[in-house]
Amino acid sequence: MFLASIALYINVLPRAFLEQLGLEQKLAPRQQLLSSTIAASFWACVGLLVIWHMVIAPGVATYEKRSKADKVFLANAFVSLFNAVTAPVLAVLGMRSVRWGDLENNMNAAPDDHALRAVGLSCGYMLYDTLYCLYYREMRSPLMIAHHVLPVLFWPYCMLNNRMLPLVLFFVLTEVTNIGQHTRILLEKFDLKHSQLYTVVGTSWVVLFFLVRIAPSPYLFFELVNGNFTLYSSLEYAVMFVTTPLPFVLNSYWFYLLVAGLSRVLERQKQVAAQQKADAAAAELQKAESERQKAESRKHR
C-alpha cells in the first residue's frame, strides 16, 4: 500500500505520455482526488516559476542587478507563497471534520475531500520544491530536503490509510507561517532589509509562527501521546514514533532562531536610532555654538 501511495506521483506526468508508456492508472475516487491535486499543484508551481522569470522579474528595475544566488532565492520565495496561501485554508476546512478530543478514533479518522486537497496541494508543492532544491546548489540544504521528502513519502499513505489525520492537517496548516518567511526573503533580496516594512513583516512572522506552530503544539502532542494506535502495524507505529516528533522539535528550534534574530534586528535599530538622536543633538549644539560665536563677533565690531 505504501508503494501504491508513492505511485500517485507518476500522474504528475502528462496523461498522453503515461498512456504511451502503459503506466496509466485506474484509481479509486479518494486516490484520484489526491493524485489529481498533487499533479495540479506541481504544475501550478512550474507555471508560477515561468511567470516569475518571463513576466514579473523583468518588470522589476533592480532585478538584473541581483546576484545569481539572489535570483534563485527570489524565484523560490515567489513560488512558495502559492502553497503558503492555499494549502492551509484547505487544512482548516478539513479540520472541521476532525472530532478533536476523540482519543479513541482520531488517529484512525478518514480524511474528507478538503483534507485530501490540502495534502495534495502541499505534496505537489513539496515535490516541485525538492526538485528545485536539488537542481540549484544554492538551495541544497539537507535539512530542507529532508523536511520535504518525508511528507512526500508518508502523507499520501496517511490519507489513503486513515492514519495521523489531525497531525498531518496541523503540519499543512503551519505552512501559513511561510508567508512571512518568503515575503521577508523577497524584501531582503531587493535591498529592503532596513525598511520599516521589513521590520513589520519580520515581527509579524515571529508572532504568527508562535500562534500557529508553537501554541497549539502541546495539545497536538497530547493527542499524539494519548491516541489509539491498535490498528497500526508495527512498521506504521515505528515510522510514526520516529518521524512525528521531528516537526515539533524543528519548530521549537526555528522559533528560537526567529526570536534571536528579531532581537538582534530590534537592538540594531535601537542603536541606530540612539546614534541618530546623538548626531542630531551634536548638530544642534554645533549650530548653537556657531550662532553664539557669530553673536560675539558682532558685539566686538
What residues does each domain of the chain span? Answer: 2-300
DSSP state letters, the chain = -HHHHHGGGGGGS-HHHHHHHT------HHHHHHHHHHHHHHHHHHHHHHHIIIIIGGGSTTGGGS-HHHHHHHHHHHHHHHHHHHHHHHHHHHHTTS-TT-TTTGGGPPP-HHHHHHHHHHHHHHHHHHHHHHH-GGG--HHHHHHHHHHHHHHHHHHHTT-SHHHHHHHHHGGGGHHHHHHHHHHHHTT-TTSHHHHHHHHHHHHHHIIIIITTHHHHHHHHHH---TTS-HHHHHHHHHHTHHHHHHHHHHHHHHHHHHHHHHHHHHHHHHHHHHHHHHHHHHHHHHHHHHHHHHHH-
Q: pLDDT tens track of the chain, all 301 residues?
A: 666 677 777 777 777 666 666 667 777 888 889 999 999 999 999 999 999 999 999 998 889 999 999 999 999 999 999 999 999 999 999 999 999 999 999 999 999 999 999 999 999 999 999 999 999 988 888 888 788 889 999 999 999 999 999 999 999 999 999 999 999 999 999 988 888 898 899 889 999 999 999 999 999 989 999 999 999 999 999 999 999 988 899 899 989 988 888 788 777 767 766 777 776 766 677 776 677 677 677 666 5
